[in-house]
Structure 1
Amino acid sequence: MTNSALGPALHPAPAAGAGAVERRLRARRDTGRGLLMPYVTGGITPGWTDYLRAFAAAGADAIEVGLPFSDPTLDGVTIQQAGDTALARGASTRRILADLSGMPALGVPLVASTYYNLVLHEGPEAFCAALRRAGVGGLIVPDLPVHEADELEGAAAAAGIELSLLASPATPQPRLAEISRRSRGFVYAVSLMGTTGERTALAASAAELTERIRRVTDRPVLLGFGISTPDQAREARRHADGVVVGAAVMRRVLDGAGPDDLRAFLTTLRQALDQECDRPR
């Protein structure tokens, strides 16, 4: 494990009871907009928060900020490299949250993502309170199974943090219903069985998974793992409410792309999602 301590301390929920992340995503979805949530590894470069501004300028509906961990079991090579780079620079949860605290408001919800080891290191209550103080509204913990989520779920709710759970193509329908019911903000649909990473085509399993999720909830559904191009984003939008784009963003950052380059790339995804929404049905 590599990180430092934090600073001081089967039915859909009605939209009226939703938190700020979910209310925003629902409102945008309900206008017909395809949702875009790009990812950045916190601390990846000295001025890494400039990427957040670029994402917002490109039309992101929410932004996922990765808190790097030294053993990222669900991440592919690109995100692993990004995490290693950030950790080598001295990135830590404390420093990343301090960077976020010092930013002017973006007007776009921030969703942190990390592994449960880092949550346990501080304790769920302290961890979630630190996220809230930094202006983070949501949390994704990819290695936390729903049947072990009670403690973090309670701590997140008490701190006003929306905990979004993951569903995969292998998730049985009863568990899928529980994941959908207990998720807050959105349901994170994992398009395939495997790790994150760029791919040449959207997995065929994505359509079936999102259809199964829609049977049990009207909460926003974001599809991730392997969405790398405008065409893939457009296809994903035919099934889900929107997309999470991580490895394709971080590959560009690792190759030296600056905020303006990422804004241009994400603008192509934004346009693809908007074009799909404008298609006659």
Structure 2
Amino acid sequence: MNFKKLLTGAFIGLAFTGVQAQKSQKQDREAIKDMCGCFEITFKYTETFAPEIDYEKHFDYNASALEWAELIKDEKDELSIQHLLLVNDSTIIKHWRQDWLYENTKRYDFNHDNQWSFVEMPKKEVKGQWTQNVYQVDDSPRYSGSATWFHADGRHFWDNVSSSPLPRREYSKRSDYNVMMRGNHVEITDEGWLHEQDNEKIIRKEAEEDVLLAQEKGYNIYKRVPDAKCAAAKEWWAANKEFWSKVRTKWSEVYGRDKDLSLEKKVEGQALFMKLFPMNTSADQKEIDEVIEAYVIKG
């Protein structure tokens, strides 16, 4: 047996695999960055099935918005996109944030009732995958999932199932379920991008099996429009980004404890965003740290 030839072939195979991985990662990064810019969004949701025949279907949800998505971190293995809502073209509301981490092994899974479980995944399970971490408006955790981006036949998409708190459109209106299992399909389109969802509304209790209340289909359709339509949001972020960088710094310290996390829903009768949003943008790190830490029960 020609061991030299065998080893040379193995080396070439590994090198080819490495080139493929680099090419795929580059495509992944390009797809993720395609979610940045100015978008007109249409939200559409409808409940499709319930196992109990006496379940009363809730009304469909339809809404629209204008949103600016700014790339705030651009590193080889990490991308971060901050979303900002524009109301009446002039009022800016800090919206959700999504971070994408390549071959990431640590994340937080939502359990229920403002509790997240720390999960450490084996390296071999996340090879070639990207974790999408989604955060609330105050940069507290929302949901997280790891999966592979696919690029084939002119399509670019990522699929994952993650547990999350109730969506903002329902959390103040409903108490008949406490977990949403999100079937997330993120796909880049010719006009922008699509967040298609196949969701399950779940009743979860400690030491009991999950109970399905209803299933739901959802479409968040992002249609790209000229960046000029979002100029006010770009200006707002430029003036406020340092404050929110300090907020992220504190949350990074909390997440870095690598422990299960429980958060207070309210402190002194206020949710966290109600304390952070009115703060002076010149607030120092210590002041911000104290506000956030007051909501951390465990972690």
Q: Shorter-chain TM-score category?
A: under 0.3
After TM superposition, the score normalised by the length of structure 1 is 0.28
More helix per residue: 1
Quick check: which has more Rg, 1 or 2? Answer: 2
More strand per residue: 2
After TM superposition, the score normalised by the length of structure 2 is 0.26
